[in-house]
Structure 1
Amino acid sequence: MKKVLSINSGSSSLKISLFSMPQEERLAKIMVDYADENNQLVTIKLPDQALIAHHYTEKLTPVELALKLLKKYKIITQATEIAAIGHRIVAGGELFHCSTEITPAMMIKLESINELAPLHNPANVAGIRDAQNLLPGCPQIAVFDTAFHTDLPPENFLYALPMEYYRKYKVRKYGAHGTSHRFVAQQAAKLLQRSLTDLKLITLHLGSGASISAIKNGKSCDTSMGFSPLTGLMMSTRCGDVDPSALVYLLKHHAFADMDECMKILNQRSGLLGVSEASRDMREIEREAEINPQAALAVKMFVKKICDYIGAYWLELGGADALVFTGGIGENDSHLRELVSQRLECLGINFQVKQNQSRNLPFDFATANSRAHLLVIPTDEELMIARDAYNLITAEQLSEQMPVH
């Protein structure tokens, strides 16, 4: 048994889980909200116990807080019990095609591509540095969201720009949420009792950030996010697909002070928040939709964009064995799933209204005669990170034990 720590660093929060591997038993789940530097909210969930909240005013890094809690609740007695640490990294560009052990040379490469995910990668790097300082002898593994999408064919990842922009600047579709899409695809295969290599899946990661992937034979062949996590679906505060000339027009008419303000609005003030003019939270928007036309419009636009991509990927795959809903919205919002599913009936995809409202995850709410299963599967990026970290250190240890001839 080895204890593996999974770290998912965001711009204002951090999720940490400690697993016993290879049993995949979650020993603790910790959330650190450090948006308020003077009063950090930290919650810990232990097996079969209610969520416990702590407030810290002392200046501790998020990983320090997590280790302090793990010791407080006797999950570990000392940090050296942790055999490996896996870190979620949003963007790996074309430099990183798979999960890899973190070295000083690798860190230099990683920091060189911060621009690919400016809201996420710097926070991911900070989480790595924090863990390295606190557990200097512990193997650290980087798990890239973009890695799952590295098998996209050129016709799917290239933009119709002069090829020199790809050759010189590597401007292309990279995608995101690959760790989540990969996890739920594997879970879907288990649920359907089929080999993943024989399945055609459309996976829908719908949360604050949202993306859809077409998966064939276990590999991503197209995905909605592009060069950055900004494009594709309409999201909580991100705009999704926008005609670039509209942005040039707005810049010329001084709607934005400069390009930095433009990017801030596209990332933080657009999407559901921008259209509803009420909230970034789909739950609040749906509550307001009956009395607020802008909120109702935001829901309609969100559903339409999802269905646009499902239609495209249905053609890309030549049909699909299953559609998989995951993420905060995908897993919990039965009304949103119903709105999407109603528009899929023309494809011969039919759903059960009552089953769609089940709370017993995972489940399939398609009818017996539906042309595709409709699965709701909770994602677990931290478990996927732990799997990769454990597999890498185990493979390395086995190679060291192999006799040299």
Structure 2
Amino acid sequence: MHTILVVNAGSSSVKYQLIDPETEARLASGLVERIGEADGRLVHRSDDGRSEERSVHVPDHTSAFSAMVDAFERAGTPVMALGIQAVGHRVVQGGSVFIAPTRIDDAVAEQILDLGSLAPLHNPGQYQAIVAARQMLPEVPHVAVFDTAFHQSMPERAYSYAIDAEVAEHHGIRRYGFHGTSHQVVSRRAAEYLGRPLESLRQIVLHLGNGASMCAIDGGRSMDTSMGFTPLEGLVMGTRSGDIDPGALLHLLRAGYSADELDRLLNHESGLIGYTGSGDFRDVRAAAAGGDAAARLAIEVYVHRIRHYLGAYLVELGGADTVVFTAGVGENNAALRAEVCAGLEWFGIRIDPERNASSASGARRISSHDSRVEVLVVTTDEEAEIARQTRALVG
């Protein structure tokens, strides 16, 4: 058996999954977290149901990968016996340089680190994980799959910001978009579910999780997306503000906020948590049902922003064949889906309440039989897509 090891690393954690690329079955998964702290922790699960959770000393990413290798050994499946064909690394920011999955060599790794100025919360940790993984598994190819790559098909009118062109060019300021791996796999799975060629479909995908974004997709190509230069732009999220007038940020700077304080405010203290104290949509929904006015307002703003982008993308695409909900909130919150689609019959979008309320898993249709637009719920699987793209590149 050939397998793909998929790695999703951050500055203080390494998540991993061992995937059979033929069936997309998970053979093992795990997490090493609190890297660099005194209380490191490892969780490892095998496909036979066995799991291990223990404290580990992980001062850096190299020791985190050593802990992962040891976890496989302790589970009775040594890494050398796993048939690992390649390692696929999720990398958040590929800039304008990387437009497709890329085999990693020393130069590519250094470019990923250099792009850390555009994604300081993500790329440096992912670079460290790449270095550690290549040292630990030097005999197999390593592939970078970029969140931004899928959106490199956007036309210039969609990715450009109207600021001084020389400033934008010098600092790399443009819309990059994120969640690209999710939008790509979900749009392909939606086409497969409908039994229609991907190239024939105009799709609007709503990736609604703690982080949230939307994407207008024409024939399998990203034409526009709500996240921008960073993952801050666009929709209201669990802890992120989404769209805000840049003038408001200038006002806060002049009022004495530092850049770091603004970063914390916008990335960690805004969105749903800024309204309600919780970034979990389930908590907000429960509070709203209990009469909490702030929670009700949070949901109204959340839905309003989604509908704002939905209307824009319907215009950009000249209509849609499918609207697809995915990720934690999109897949599991029927009330939200109904609120987003309410009153859109004149766009050809009509929800069937019974289908929408179903707790069925997997891809499913929630639109009514007379809806011109197919409204679907499709499970996202970024790790399987990373495995698929990695295998396709290495052969």
TM-score by length of 1: 0.91
Could you tell me how far 1:271 is from its partner in structure 2? 1.0
Please list, as runs of the form range in 1=range in 2, the aligned pairs for 1:247-258 lying within 5 A after superposition.
247-254=249-256, 256=257, 258=258
Amino acid paired to 1:307: R
Query: What is the rounded CA distance, in whole Å, between the counterparts of 1:330 and 1:319 in structure 2?
Result: 21
Contact 1:5 1:386 survives alignment (8 Å) = yes
Alignment match of 2:99 (pick from 94, 97, 100): 97
Residue 375 of structure 2 corresponds to 374
SS in 2 for 1:150: helix
Could you tell me how far 1:388 is from its partner in structure 2? 1.3
Q: Is 1:204 aligned to residue 206 of structure 2?
A: yes
Please list, as runs of the form range in 1=range in 2, the aligned pairs for 1:77-116 lying within 5 A after superposition.
78=80, 81-116=83-118
SS in 2 for 1:112: helix
Residue 162 of structure 1 corresponds to 164
Contact 2:185 2:385 survives alignment (8 Å) = yes
SS in 1 for 2:8: strand
How many percent identity over aligned positions?
A: 40
Amino acid paired to 2:251: Y
Could you tell me how far 1:385 is from its partner in structure 2? 0.8
SS in 2 for 1:239: coil
SS in 2 for 1:234: coil
SS in 1 for 2:153: coil
Q: Is 1:10 aligned to residue 1 of structure 2?
A: no
Identify unmatched segments of 5+ residues in structure 1. Answer: 395-405
SS in 1 for 2:233: coil
Could you tell me how far 1:167 is from its partner in structure 2? 2.8
Residue 311 of structure 2 corresponds to 311
Could you tell me how far 1:12 is from its partner in structure 2? 4.7
Provide closer, same or farther for how the CA distance between residues 127 and 314 of structure 1 changes in structure 2, counting only shifts above 3 A: same
Could you tell me how far 1:11 is from its partner in structure 2? 4.3
Could you tell me how far 1:236 is from its partner in structure 2? 1.0
Could you tell me how far 1:215 is from its partner in structure 2? 0.3
Mean Cα deviation higher: 173-182 or 26-35: 26-35
Provide closer, same or farther for how the CA distance between residues 73 and 101 of structure 1 changes in structure 2, counting only shifts above 3 A: same
Provide closer, same or farther for how the CA distance between residues 198 and 74 of structure 1 changes in structure 2, counting only shifts above 3 A: farther
Q: Is 1:189 aligned to residue 191 of structure 2?
A: yes
Residue 243 of structure 1 corresponds to 245
Amino acid paired to 2:53: H
Could you tell me how far 1:65 is from its partner in structure 2? 3.1
Residue 129 of structure 1 corresponds to 131
Identify unmatched segments of 5+ residues in structure 2. Answer: none
Contact 1:149 1:178 survives alignment (8 Å) = yes
Query: What is the rounded CA distance, in whole Å, between the counterparts of 2:81 and 2:127 in structure 1?
Result: 20
Contact 1:84 1:390 survives alignment (8 Å) = yes
Residue 271 of structure 1 corresponds to 271
Mean Cα deviation higher: 16-25 or 313-322: 16-25
Provide closer, same or farther for how the CA distance between residues 338 and 39 of structure 1 changes in structure 2, counting only shifts above 3 A: farther
Query: What is the rounded CA distance, in whole Å, between the counterparts of 2:12 and 2:368 in structure 1?
Result: 41
Residue 26 of structure 2 corresponds to 26
Contact 1:79 1:135 survives alignment (8 Å) = no
Could you tell me how far 1:45 is from its partner in structure 2? 4.1
Contact 1:351 1:365 survives alignment (8 Å) = yes
SS in 2 for 1:212: strand
Q: CA RMSD in A?
A: 2.0
Q: Is 1:233 aligned to residue 232 of structure 2?
A: no
Could you tell me how far 1:259 is from its partner in structure 2? 1.3
Query: What is the rounded CA distance, in whole Å, between the counterparts of 1:10 and 1:334 in structure 2?
Result: 32
Could you tell me how far 1:78 is from its partner in structure 2? 2.4
Residue 226 of structure 2 corresponds to 224
State how many pairs are aligned. 390
Provide closer, same or farther for how the CA distance between residues 367 and 46 of structure 1 changes in structure 2, counting only shifts above 3 A: farther
Could you tell me how far 1:116 is from its partner in structure 2? 1.3
Q: Is 1:37 aligned to residue 41 of structure 2?
A: no
Q: Deviations over 1:4-46 (max 9, x none)?
A: 1001123454331111233433212223343793444444444
Could you tell me how far 1:344 is from its partner in structure 2? 3.0
Provide closer, same or farther for how the CA distance between residues 53 and 71 of structure 1 changes in structure 2, counting only shifts above 3 A: closer
